Amino acid sequence: MSTGEKFTVGLVQMTLVPDLDQNLRRAIQLAEGAAKDGARIVCLPELFRSQYFCQREDAASFDLAEAVPGPSTAALAPVARDRRITLIVPVFERRAPGLYHNTAAVIGPDGKLAGLYRKMHIPDDPGYYEKFYFTPGDLGYRAFDTDVGRIGTLICWDQWYPEAARLTALRGAGILFYPTAIGWHPREKAELGAAQRDAWMTIQRSHAIANGVYVAAVNRAGLERPRGGDGIEFWGSTFLCDPFGVVTAQGSTGREEVVLGEVDPSRIEEVRRGWPFLRDRRIDSYADLDKRFIEGP
C-alpha cells in the first residue's frame, strides 16, 4: 500500500443491545451510512451481533455462534456488493460442534468472502472469560488484498502483542484493523480508567510506528450487563492513527457513531524512508523469540 490515491475508512462504533437481529439491522444501517459518506473499507466491532457475553462462563451462550458463511455474512454481503466496499465482519464462529472461534470475516466489493482471520490470543481475565468460549486461531497472521491495497485484521487482545502486528505488516498489510471489545470495570474506573485507556491507545500507536502502517481500532461503547452484576463500561474511543502514530480521527467514549478517517498510502512510503525500521531489523538475531522465556544468564 505504498502507492495509490487517498481513501476513507469507516470505523463503526456500536452500542449493542440484547436483541441480536436489532444489532444486525443497525450494523447494516451504519455500514451503509459509512459507504454513503465515502468509506471504501468499513469495519464493525468485535462480536457485534450481541452484547459481550464473555463476562461470565455460560454454556448457553454457545447458542449465539454461527457458521461462516452464515447469517451475518449473508446479511452484510449485499451491502459490500451494492456499495462496492470491503467489509470486516467480526463473528462468533461455530466451526464444528463444540469448536468455536472469535473470527473476522472479510467481504470484498463483489460480495464474496475474501477470507477469515481467527483471533490468535485469547484472554482469561475477570469479565473477559474468552478461553471458555474460543479456540485459538489456526490460520496464522493474514493479509487480504482489497481494491485499495492490502489490509490486515487482528482482534482485540491481539492488539497488545507486537509480534502479531509485525507479522501482519510483513505480509504487506498497510492498515491493521483491530475490531475490539474493551472497557472499564465500573468499580475500577475512577482509579485506573484513564491509565488503562491510555495504555490501550499507546500500544496500538506503537504498532503503527514500529511497522510504518496505519492502525484502526474499532471498539463498542456503553455499559453492558447481559447477566447482571456491575457489567463492563466499554470506552469507545475508536480511532485511526497514521504510520507515525499520529491520531487522525477518533470517536467519543460513550456514544454510537461512525468514525471516518483518511488513509494516504504515500504516507507509508514517506514514514518508512525516514524511519527505516524494517530495513534495520536484525533478523539473524531473533531466534529466541519462539521461546516462552529465556532461562539462564
Distance from C-alpha of 83 to C-alpha of 32, rounded to nearest angstrom: 7
Single out the residue of 114, 84, 88, 86 nearest to residue 103, CA to CA. 88
Residues acting as catalytic residues: 46, 119, 156
